[in-house]
Amino acid sequence: MFNPFDLLKIKELFSLKEWWEDRVYGKNKELRALARRVLKVLDAHQIPTSRIQTVFPQLDIQPKDFKSLDSVIAILNEPFLAAFSNKFFIDRAWLDTGVSNPQDQLEHGYDFESIYDYLVKLKSTENQSVIAHFIAQTGTKFVPAEDHGTYEGLVVALEFIEYGDGNFEYSRYQLLYVGYWHYYKTRMMIKAISLLCFQLGFIQKGYFSKYANYQGIEKYMVAEIFDHVFPKSWHPDDYIFISDQSACSKDRDDALRFHSYLKDIGFYERIKNLKSTPFLS
């Protein structure tokens, strides 16, 4: 019969082994923690070690480099860490030290131009697809929209689906924006991102998660938040058009305010001219 205390003893032996190696070989706890964060990122994105060369063809790494914590530590050089953090949009400070958020959002304030300039340069190709995800905090009610109401968060993230050789594909997630639906400035930013994605032809998907807020992104990568999404979905583009333009409009009054906001900041015509659509007058 299995004795749970045997497992505890095994864990204690491994801890003792690590302590001894730290003393003798200088493999300190910071390096071990860094290696564990690297493995955590790979696990969160479901990257099998057998495909590591496909993900990082520019690096001289092999599947055998990930067979143990020690082998991972051996490849932790600057070129690897720079390429790794850039590939998965990981905050380098978090990767190096475990301090700060795992991922940094592209825009922290209300500078829509920075997001506009970034998104219009993105293109789906035969090797990559782009999906815009809008993850609302569980319990969010979208209508009526309040300007200083409840504080349910909303996370906007991009998913880059990469298509490799042999039917292998994997996803990378970029944290684009975090805000509140029931706060005027961040709601306008969220709607502006949705309309821009609509005009650019990006697929948009809406989800719910209890971790879709500022506290959630302090602890989790976007890929991890997707492990905790609620089955119910919603449609971001239901809230960006007025009812005279779209039968799917669910909040005409706030859509009118949103269009006025875009005109005030000088982006209504710029977004409208990206693609001919009956949904914009």
| Same-domain check for residues 213 and 142 | yes
pLDDT 10s digits, 64-109 = 999 999 999 999 999 999 999 999 999 999 999 999 999 999 999 9
Q: How many residues does the chain have?
A: 281
| Same-domain check for residues 84 and 205 | no
The residue among 97, 131, 163 that closes a domain is 97
| Same-domain check for residues 75 and 204 | no
| Same-domain check for residues 30 and 136 | no
pLDDT 10s digits, 107-136 = 999 999 999 999 999 988 889 999 999 999
In a domain, 59, yes or no: yes
In a domain, 107, yes or no: no
Residue 207 near residue 230, CB atoms below 8 Å: yes
Can you count the helices (H) and strands (E) in the chain? Answer: 12, 5
| Same-domain check for residues 92 and 121 | no
| Same-domain check for residues 121 and 80 | no
| Same-domain check for residues 131 and 185 | yes
Task: List the domain range (segments joined by +) for residue 198.
Answer: 112-272
Concatenated DSSP letters for 80-136? HHHHHHHHTT--HHHHHHS-S-SS--S-SSS-HHHHHHHHTT---BTTEEEEEEEEE
With residue 69 as reference, give the H or E element that holds it: helix 69-74
- For position 255, what pLDDT does the model report? 95
- For position 267, what pLDDT does the model report? 97
Any idea what the Cα angle at residue 123 is, between residues 235 and 161, rounded to 5°? 65
In a domain, 281, yes or no: no
- For position 8, what pLDDT does the model report? 58
| Same-domain check for residues 159 and 129 | yes
User: Model pTM?
Assistant: 0.88
In a domain, 24, yes or no: yes
Token pair of 90 as six digits: 């990981």
The residue among 47, 68, 97 that closes a domain is 97
| Same-domain check for residues 253 and 119 | yes
Grouping H, G, I as helix, E, B as strand and the rest as coil, residue 179 is strand
In a domain, 41, yes or no: yes
pLDDT 10s digits, 124-182 = 888 999 999 999 999 999 999 999 987 899 999 999 999 977 789 999 999 999 999 99
In a domain, 280, yes or no: no
The residue among 97, 122, 139 that closes a domain is 97
Contacts of 245 by beta carbon, 8 Å cutoff, 6+ apart: 278, 279, 280, 281
| Same-domain check for residues 140 and 31 | no
- For position 123, what pLDDT does the model report? 85
Overall domain count for the chain = 2
- For position 85, what pLDDT does the model report? 98
In a domain, 189, yes or no: yes
How much of the chain, in percent, has pLDDT values that exceed 70?
89
Q: What is the biggest distance separating any 2 CA atoms in the chain, rounded to whole angstroms?
A: 74
In a domain, 261, yes or no: yes
Name the average pLDDT for the chain.
91
The values of phi and psi at residue 221, to 5°, are: -75, 160
Any bridge partners for residue 153, and if so which? 180
- For position 268, what pLDDT does the model report? 96
| Same-domain check for residues 121 and 199 | yes
Q: What share of the chain is helix, strand, coil (3-state, %, to 5)?
A: 50, 15, 35
| Same-domain check for residues 225 and 267 | yes
